[in-house]
């Protein structure tokens, strides 16, 4: 089989590409590298089983080039949540219109299956408990979450309207090697690691009780792979998570432990208004439909990431200057 991964040069996408090749299949990657990195694909390219189309999901010619001979599309290309705050219209073009264009290209090329990689952000502040795919009402609080929900609706509509085999997967906070660690895209775990390896305190907004369902990236890739090849998931929406909450305070404490810096304490600052407090997945459906069971616990995942990070960046001090979220709320 031949697979297409849009956004395959990104954090999750590149791990998914690795998994597809490891399973013995060929893969096409469509990516404009606005946020992904070609270096993420070096190992995959070396196998001879990956073809790269450097282009955009908003370009019909690029989509047609990438779709040729493809059996399954895994659509991961996305504009991230923090960029969406400063450019909501651009965010909609990529996440909503881009998804529609990718679906239509897949339909015209008679692709067998389309897996849409959504986000836990679609839930918003809709619940204080574990979030159910079929019971929790989605109430996104960000334009990013809203645009991802629109993509879900288009994906479901293509099943009902055209009979295309489609499904929606909602990953919860993947982390691990290749995670964005600089500038506006940088996530909390890389930012904390950069601080600690430079002898500085991780900065925690509020009391640190807010949390996420952190899931190691190879587990997330495993769930996406299972979705691509499982007939049970067609027409379904499935969470991909561990099913347990890790607070930001616990994240900081685990990173301090893994880095051997018990001499550093977390630095607490004022809570940011508008932040979603906590997101945790109900995971029974992923288990039932996909046999999905995460294997890497949080402490092991942090250990793996810290070791990878230290090998990748011999001098973490060079990253301090980039360790800033350089966006502001638009006027």
List, by residue number, the catalytic residues: 144
Segments in 125-205 forming alpha helices (H): 143-162, 188-197
* CA separation for the pair 165, 306 (Å, rounded): 39
For 101-111, letters b (16+ CB in 10 Å) and e give bbbebbbebeb
CA 140 to chain centre: 17
CB 11 within 8 A of CB 76: no
Query: Which residues have a Cβ under 8 Å from the Cβ of 201 and sit 6 or more positions away?
Result: 195, 264, 265, 266, 267
Listed residue (195, 199, 204, 206) closest to 322, CA to CA: 195
CA 262 to chain centre: 31
Secondary structure letter of residue 322 according to DSSP? T
Q: DSSP assignment of 252-272, as one string?
A: HHHHHHHTT-TT---EEEPPP
* CA separation for the pair 71, 52 (Å, rounded): 16
SS3 content of the chain, % helix, strand, coil (to 5): 45, 15, 40
CA 291 to chain centre: 20
* CA separation for the pair 284, 236 (Å, rounded): 13
Task: List the end-to-end C-alpha distance of the chain, in Å, as a whole number.
Answer: 49
Two structure tokens written together for 219: 């587990």
């Amino acid at each position: 089989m031949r697979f297409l991964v849009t956004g395959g040069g990104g954090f999750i996408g590149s791990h998914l590409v690795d998994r597809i090749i490891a399973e013995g299949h060929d893969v096409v990657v469509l990516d404009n590298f606005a946020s992904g990195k070609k270096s993420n694909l070096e190992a995959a390219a070396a196998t001879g089983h990956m073809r790269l189309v450097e282009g955009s999901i908003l370009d019909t010619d690029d989509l047609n080039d990438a779709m040729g001979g493809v059996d399954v599309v895994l659509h991961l290309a996305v504009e991230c949540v923090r960029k969406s705050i400063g450019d909501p219209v651009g965010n909609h073009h990529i996440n909503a219109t881009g998804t529609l264009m990718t679906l239509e290209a897949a339909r015209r090329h008679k692709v067998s299956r389309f897996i849409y990689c959504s986000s836990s952000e679609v839930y918003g502040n809709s619940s204080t408990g574990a979030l159910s795919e079929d019971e929790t009402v989605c109430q996104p609080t960000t334009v990013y979450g809203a645009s991802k929900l629109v993509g879900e609706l288009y994906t479901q509509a293509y099943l009902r309207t055209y009979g295309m085999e489609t499904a929606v997967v909602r990953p919860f906070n993947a982390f691990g090697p290749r995670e964005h660690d600089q500038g506006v895209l940088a996530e909390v775990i890389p930012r904390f690691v950069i601080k600690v390896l430079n002898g500085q305190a991780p900065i925690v907004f509020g009391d640190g009780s807010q949390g996420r369902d952190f899931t190691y990236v190879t587990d997330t890739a495993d769930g996406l792979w299972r979705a691509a090849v499982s007939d049970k998931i067609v027409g379904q929406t499935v969470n991909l998570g561990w099913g347990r909450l890790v607070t930001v305070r616990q994240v900081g404490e685990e990173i301090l432990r893994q880095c051997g810096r018990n001499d550093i304490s977390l630095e607490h600052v004022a809570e940011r208004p508008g932040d979603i407090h906590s997101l945790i997945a109900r995971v029974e459906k992923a288990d039932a439909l996909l046999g999905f069971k995460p294997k890497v616990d949080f402490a092991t995942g942090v250990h793996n990431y810290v070791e990878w990070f230290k090998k990748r960046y011999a001098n973490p001090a060079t990253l301090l200057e980039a360790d800033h979220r350089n966006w502001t709320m638009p006027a």
